[in-house]
Amino acid sequence: MSKDYEEFMSSQKTKEKVTDIETIKTNKHSDEKKLDLILTKLETIERHLGIKTKPDPKTIYDDMEVGYTVKDTAKILGCSINKVRNLQNIGALTSYMIGRQKMITSDSIKNVIGTLSGKKV
């Protein structure tokens, strides 16, 4: 082996790095602060660009069909078929025909639920 290599190896043995617990805690705390700062800046950039990283929470309306029969609408609203027909007649529920079947639009069902609950749906 060369003399330079031996000198290098002996110098490495004498330079044993001793770290105490306080240094480790300080470094960990510093790393957490850096990570928080990076995440904050990333969220600011995403907001500026209009990017959503967190999906909106799922609601009961996400899985609704385009339209429902009068009978199904009565089940959804928790009322009778006659009440659904009355809501149709006054224009609260919008309907369309598929063959001889009258279908109620899910948007109008959402509006009725929102009106009854006092919340915007």
* Res 114 pLDDT > 80: yes
What pLDDT score was predicted for residue 121?
53
The overall average pLDDT reported for the chain is: 80
- The whole model's pTM is what? 0.50
> Would you state the pLDDT for residue 39?
86
Share of the chain above pLDDT 70, in %: 71
pLDDT, residue 65, reads 85
Closest CA to 104 of 67, 77, 71: 67
Q: Where along the chain do its domains lie?
A: 16-54, 67-117
Q: What is the mean pLDDT of residues 12-22?
A: 56
Residue 3 is predicted with a pLDDT of 72
